[in-house]
A = this chain, B = another copy of it.
Amino acid sequence: MLISKIGEFGLIDRFKKLIKTDASVIKGSGDDCAVIKFDREHYLLWTCDMIVEDVDFTFRTDPYLIGRKAVAVSLSDIAACAGEPRYLLAALAMPKQTSLGFAEKIVQGMRETANKYRVNIVGGDLSRAGKIALDVSMLGIVKKKHLVLRSGAKPGDVIFVTGTLGGSIKGKHLKFTPRLKESRFLAENFKPSAMIDLSDGLAQDLGQILKESRVGARIYAELIPVSPQATGLSDALYSGEDFELLFTLPKKQAQKLLKKKLVIFQSIGEIIERRSGLRLVEKNKRETILEPKGFRHF
């Protein structure tokens, strides 16, 4: 059997079963970051993401943006756990015939993005490969009381997203702003019950929150902030790499957030009982069941 038959999430489920962790691991796989005991007030957050030529970019992509994206993807994972990014290691594999200018631009993109968010680049690994691959591993810290996982959403909670969704392929996937500022604002002023970053599309990533929280959701087509770059609502629902935050807030906190009238935060629906699944209320008020599908590597 090929891995494409069982799919990315089937693979992840199989691999997760193989893995045991000790009591110092607060959260192993299955969230945006691994969460490890650190000190009395903080946890360590840890994530890694590999981006690969011909999948995440091509040799025609501006190499500065390749480096930028590799770092920003991990920053987005730290934001999704309400943490502060601190350190990164980078493993870069390149063909022998890569030009020095191209390699240096990748590093420059990484460095400037890391500097902007006050992340220390503490080392890396260079190797040869037929195609470029860049893996960034990032460490952050989070106050214990601020940690947000995917697993805390409750029926009645309001669902929010930041920014606009869809059409990322037209450029945003290389140039998005990781939502660290918004994540910090939420952590300091609210208590999100669940959060994830939108890397595989709204329907699929909301599906992750529903699965981990054992709940359902109802979202409203007319509330979803569709990007001007998107081809339409289904692009906003199913396309990957928006790198916006998707989070849930208890109703009272949601009202408090809505009163602030911050355009970056848009309420799109509510958490409901698990048995109701994931539902979309269309503009004509008709309610349909939404498949939690989206971007899949396999």
Could you tell me which A residues sit within 8 Å of B by CB distance? Answer: 1-6, 8, 11-12, 14-15, 18-22, 24-25, 28-31, 33-34, 36, 39, 46-52, 54-56, 86-87, 89-91, 93-94, 96-101, 103-104, 107-108, 111, 115, 120-131, 133, 135, 137, 139, 297-298
Contacts and interface: CB of A to CB of B under 8 A. Distances in A.
Contact of A96 (B2, B49, B130): B2
Given A47-B89, A99-B3, A298-B96, A21 B122 contact: yes
Contacts of A20: 115, 120
User: Which of A11, A29, A131, A135 has most chain B Cβ within 10 Å?
Assistant: A135
Given A89-B46, A127-B52, A135-B48, A3 B122 contact: no
- Majority SS at the chain A contact face: mixed
Given A18-B108, A46-B89, A52-B128, 11 more contacts: A2-B98, A2-B99, A3-B94, A3-B96, A25-B87, A34-B87, A39-B39, A49-B91, A50-B133, A52-B93, A54-B130
Given A48-B137, A107-B15, A3 B121 contact: no
Nearest to A92: B50
Given A46-B87, A108-B18, A125-B48, A25 B120 contact: yes
A133 B93 contact: yes
6 contacts: A3-B103, A48-B137, A49-B91, A50-B93, A50-B125, A51-B127
A90 B6 CA distance: 20
Nearest to A55: B128
B130 A130 contact: yes
Contacts of A1: 99-101
A256 B244 CA distance: 60
A12 B126 contact: yes
A97 B2 CA distance: 6
A122 to B, nearest CB: 4
Contacts of A46: 87, 89, 122-123, 137, 139
